[in-house]
Amino acid sequence: MTNANMNSGNLDPLFHPAAHYGSPEEVLNDEGLSVPEKRIILSSWASDMFAVEFCPSLREIPGMDRPIRLADILAALRRLDGEDDDPPPPGGVPMRLRRPWAAALRRTPSYSRQPF
């Protein structure tokens, strides 16, 4: 026997907050939500589960009529944390050494690497 309430169309609106919000800005501006509730909604929207295939910078949220940019969701989360709207400065890929001991050899003066 199938429970009709398990159908995604019949779930409590809290499970599909897009039914109430059209953008990350609307979530931020809802004074009826606590900061943790806003964070839960925005974080769920940022999930890779909603990533648009072949365009990972967009999210298709159930109940919304258009995709939302991941950058907008992340900017809203930063605002919740009291950070500004500007994205963090671009960074590079961390350097990983294939042979960690090789870095020690490069830092050692050449005279100490001579065989005895």
Q: Please classify residue 45 by burial: count the beta carbons closer than 10 Å to its beta carbon, then call 0-12 exposed, 13-18 middle and 19+ buried.
A: buried
Rounded Cα distance between 88 and 74, Å, is: 11
Give, for all 116 residues of the chain, the pLDDT tens digit: 333 333 344 444 445 566 678 899 999 999 999 999 999 999 999 998 889 999 999 999 888 889 999 999 999 999 998 876 555 566 655 555 555 555 555 555 555 555 55
Q: For 86, what's the count of Cα atoms within 13 Å in the CB-facing half-sphere?
A: 3
Residue 69 is classified by DSSP as E
Res 3: pLDDT: 37
Contacts of 22 (CB under 8 A, 6+ apart): 64, 65
Rounded Cα distance between 91 and 104, Å, is: 25
Rounded to a whole number of angstroms, the distance between the first and last alpha carbons of the chain is 81
